[in-house]
């Protein structure tokens, strides 16, 4: 089993390399919109494979939350900047920010529902 630090570093380096490659070609806003769905897709795959992951699921969920919070903060910053400049990409950035924050909402809802079921 890989350590928490190793998985976090590998995930963040992979995300940073993908973002840098896309940002060099299309710009930061376009790269964000193209990568904002990754934490949501990772959450879906983790929930599908939760039986096979075992306790590694906690590690995967931590990395998903970390990536989602980072993308959410970055999306908010890009959206505010685009809104101030009057850019035409404001709507896409706002929707990308919502998509980047969906794993946090989904995990919070699952946690609350599970808490209600145990009583």
pLDDT (tens digit per residue) in 52-110:
878 888 888 988 998 899 889 999 999 999 999 988 888 888 999 999 999 999 999 99
Task: Give the Cα-Cα-Cα angle 105, 44, 1 (nearest 5 degrees).
Answer: 105
Q: Give domain limits for the chain.
A: 37-119
Cα distances from 50 to residues 54, 73, 76, 112, in angstroms, run 6, 28, 31, 19
pTM of the model: 0.80
């Amino acid at each position: 089993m890989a350590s928490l630090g190793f998985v976090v570093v590998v995930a963040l380096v992979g995300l940073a390399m993908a973002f840098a490659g896309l940002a060099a070609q299309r710009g930061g806003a376009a790269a964000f919109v193209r990568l904002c769905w990754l934490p949501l897709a990772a959450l879906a795959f983790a929930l599908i494979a939760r039986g096979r992951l075992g306790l590694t699921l906690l590690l995967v969920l931590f990395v998903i939350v970390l990536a989602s919070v980072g993308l959410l903060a970055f999306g908010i910053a890009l959206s505010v900047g685009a809104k101030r400049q009057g850019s035409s990409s404001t709507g896409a950035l706002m929707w990308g920010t919502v998509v980047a924050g969906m794993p946090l909402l989904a995990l919070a809802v699952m946690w609350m529902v599970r808490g209600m079921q145990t009583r």
